[in-house]
Amino acid sequence: MDLTELTSQRKESQKRRILLIDDDEEDYILTRQMLSDAREGRFALEWCASFQAGEVRLAEDRTFDAVIVDYDLGCRCGIDLIRQAVAQQYPAPVLLLTGRGRYDVDVQAMEAGAADYLNKNEMNPAFLERAIRYAIERKKQELSLRHSEAHLRQSEGQLRKSEAKMRKSEAQMRKSEERYRTLFTSMLNGFALHEIICAADGQPVDYRFLEINPAFEQITGLKAADVIGKTVREVLPGIDPEWIETYGKVALTGEPAQFENYASPLGKYFQVYAFRPQPNQFAALFIDITPRKQMEAELLMSQADLANAQAVSHTGNWRLDVKRNQLLWSEETYRIFGIPPGAPLTYESFLAMIHPDDRDYVDRCWAAALAGETYDIEHRIRVGDQVKWVRERAVLEWDTQGALQGGFGTVQDITSQRRLEQECIEHHSEIEIHHRLMEFRERERQEIAQDLHDGPVQELSSIIFSLQCLRGMVQDPAIQLELDDIRSQVRSVVHDLRNKMNDLRPPALIRFGLSSAIQNHVEETLERYPTMRISLDLDQDELRIPEKTRLALFRVYQEATNNAIRHARATNIWVRFAAQDGQVHLEIRDNGAGFLIPKDWSSQTLTGHYGLPGMKERSEMIGGEFSIVSMPGEGTTVRVAAPVVAQVRGKQ
């Protein structure tokens, strides 16, 4: 195909198609000629020669740009065809062609919907071309207007539907808002809506309260009037930044979060569920879990206290559940038996840890417990190379049918207790021996004092008498002087012996009581130590105190005074004795060097120092309480308080 043919086809496709319905062929030829002669000349005319042919063609082809209908179509009128085309909304303008030129025909054509009225007698090519062109443009405008009207009606309908939907949505929204508001105000959980506040770098630094419900006010103590519109740093300056960081992640990423945290400014723990209702906002549901946290803390503390108590007391426990076939040991029980926590446990493995000499005994006791007897035994176990003593007690649980359901028991490590018991037995034996030794010493002292009195003292007294007689018989002054010197030496020996006798068994203690014995001893002490100052504050007991008590108190006084003079280098001693209300109180205080009081009194006897333990034991032998206070450089105070059985003269 050459360029000329292509151009011709393009022009042909650009021509306006015109349909002429006219039963007169001459009119068709004339019309075709006029359209050909028209200045534009871009028309393609097609012809239907009857009413029926035109009716069919209009029904089959709706692509014509314009339709021209003759008024006279045989027995039919072209106006009827125009009415049909208009009724069928034919998209092209329909023009009426007539040779009558009557006004009534013009009116009928206009009423039928004709686009124009063409008089054959007045037509020419320019007129026809202009009439067709105007009709086409008017039809286009009409169709556009009609389309706009239809679109407008459609839009109006859609708008009405939208308005109806909107009214329905508004009603639903009001109901939803009412339900939300009811839920918001009546819900037991705290609820709050916030907006997140970010710094220039996009990091969350604060958040603002937008809305809170009454439950939030009640749980936190924060009132809506005081917080709405304010930031959390304004309301709670000491808030932990972790809260802001967590909420910021929810508001910025949309990922919900559920967590528990402590709000230090409020002093409460909260369980929180946070979600994002819209960007840069977050809503939070609060539950106050402070009581639960306190209970958990108390439970943990109780468990820790129980574990510590078991560790301190060396007591473990176990729980047996027969239905679950489960035996649970506490950590202390594992420690006592020396096996790792969580190690598998069976009755056989338990028996294997029992000392071989006690294994049958333990097995028999457990069998007896299963038969209903009490399980409270002590036995030995082997832990590596070590042998331990344990005490086991158990309470077994039975159902109504008598079947074993479980049990609870304790295991106490009594190794140290057993060792202490043995040491106490040995120590008690030592104390008993020491007490007997002290009694023996007292009896021995009395016997020695009596022997000295009956033997050497009497003999020396006889010698003194003999020397006195011998002096009277001698006339030589030199011999008399020598005899006087011998007699003086013997008297000194007798005096020393009597002092020793008084130390061994003070006669004043027996004859006149403790106060007199102390006074006599002080006088003798001052003779030996003239620079010593001893102050006395003594009640007169008048022999109301039993001799055993007087003797024990005197020995305590004697030991304390000797220690102060010989070892502490004291220069002042104060002695106080009081007897009242069935009690005697003895106190010896000095300004000597002082010393550190030993923690273990028995250790003193092991090193050969019997003074302090002796005073303590003498006090305890008479049912008294012994105490001593001393520090290096601060002197020493010894106190004894003991009960007495008062004796009034003539009455017991």
Amino acid at 220: T
> Model's pTM, two decimal places?
0.35
489 falls within a domain: no
pLDDT at 496 over 80: no
**Residue 1 pLDDT > 60:** no
Q: Which of 9-13, 218-222, 590-594, 598-602 shows the lowest per-residue confidence on average (mean pLDDT)? A: 9-13
Collect contacts of 3-11 with beta carbons under 8 A, ≥24 apart: 11/42
pLDDT at 640: 93
Domain identity same for 259 and 365 = no
Amino acid, res. 261? N
- Residue ending a domain, choose from 263, 288, 313: 288
Q: Concatenate the DSSP letters of all residues of 40-68 into one string.
A: S--EEEEEE-SHHHHHHHHHH----SEEE
For residue 646, name the pLDDT band (cuts at 50, 70, 90): very low
| Residue 649 and residue 515 in one domain | yes
Domain count, the chain: 4
**What is the distance between the alpha carbons of residues 413 and 387, in angstroms, rounded to a whole number?**
11
- The tokens describing 46, both together, are 């097609």
- φ/ψ of 440, rounded to 5, equals -65, -40
Res. 637: pLDDT tops 80: yes
- CATH code assigned at 281: 3.30.450.20
The residue count of the chain comes to 652
Query: What is the signed CA dihedral for 412, 416, 419, 423, rounded to 10 degrees?
Result: -130
With CA atoms as reference, report the closest residue to 352 among 373, 382, 324: 382
Average pLDDT over residues 270-285: 91
Domain match, 249 and 332 both: no
Q: What does the mean pLDDT of the chain come to?
A: 81
- The mean pLDDT value for 232-246 works out to 91
Distances from the Cα of 201 to the Cα of 232, 274, 279, angstroms: 20, 23, 17
- Report residue 3's pLDDT band, with 50, 70 and 90 as the boundaries: very low
Range of the domain at 320: 296-413
Is the pLDDT confidence value at 15 over 90?
A: no
Q: In the beta sheet, which residues pair with residue 641?
A: 585, 625
Based on the fold, state whether residues 128 and 110 are members of the same structural domain. yes
Which pLDDT tens digit goes with each residue over 325-366? Answer: 778 888 888 888 888 888 888 878 888 889 999 999 999 998
240 and 133 inside one domain: no
Residues 530 and 634 in one domain: yes
Percent above pLDDT 70 for the chain: 81
Read off the pLDDT of residues 424-479 as tens digits, 9 standing for 90 and up.
776 666 556 555 655 555 566 555 655 555 556 566 766 776 777 777 777 778 77
In a domain, residue 234? The reply is: yes
The confidence band for 182, taking pLDDT boundaries of 50, 70 and 90, is: low
What DSSP designation does 281 have? E
Residue 490 placed within a domain:
no
Compute CA distances 429 → 266, 271, 423, 437, whole Å: 66, 67, 10, 12
Q: Do 272 and 308 share a domain, yes or no?
A: no
Q: Which of 206, 208, 232 has its CA nearest to residue 220?
A: 232
Tell me which of 350, 384, 413 is where a domain ends: 413
In 3-state terms the chain splits into helix, strand, coil percentages (rounded to 5) of 55, 25, 25
The per-residue pLDDT for 610 is 58
What confidence tier does 164 reach under pLDDT thresholds 50, 70, 90?
A: confident
**CA-CA distance, 141 to 563, in Å (whole number)?**
141
- Residue 7 is predicted with a pLDDT of 46
Q: Provide mean pLDDT across the span 502-516.
A: 62
In the DSSP assignment, the letter for residue 102 is -
Q: For residues 220 and 266, is the Cβ–Cβ distance under 8 A?
A: yes
pLDDT of residue 428: 62
pLDDT per residue over 37-63, tens digit each? 877 668 888 999 989 998 899 899 988
3-class secondary structure for 114-163? Answer: CCEEEEHHHCCHHHHHHHHHHHHHHHHHHHHHHHHHHHHHHHHHHHHHHH
In a domain? residue 544: yes
CA angle 249, 254, 259 (to 5 degrees): 55
Element at 476 (helix H, strand E): none
Are 60 and 84 in a shared domain?
yes
Please indicate, yes or no, whether residues 217 and 109 belong to a single structural domain of this protein.
no
Amino acid present at 574: W
Given this model, what pLDDT does residue 458 score?
Answer: 62
DSSP H helices in 453-476: 458-473
Cβ atoms 587, 557 nearer than 8 A:
no
- Better-predicted residue by pLDDT, 204 or 170: 204
Residues 6 or more apart from 6 whose CB is under 8 A from it? none
* Beta sheet of 204-212, edge-to-edge order: 204-212, 190-198, 281-288, 268-275, 257-263
**The domain boundary residue, chosen from 397, 413, 429:** 413
> What is the side-by-side strand order in the sheet with 116-119?
43-48, 16-21, 66-70, 94-98, 116-119
User: 111 lies in a domain?
Assistant: yes
Both 516 and 652 in one domain: the answer is yes
Q: Is residue 652 over pLDDT 70?
A: no
Does 181 map to a domain?
no
Residue 284 sits in the same domain as residue 302: no
Q: Is residue 330 part of a domain?
A: yes
Residue 537 to residue 339: CA distance in whole angstroms:
66
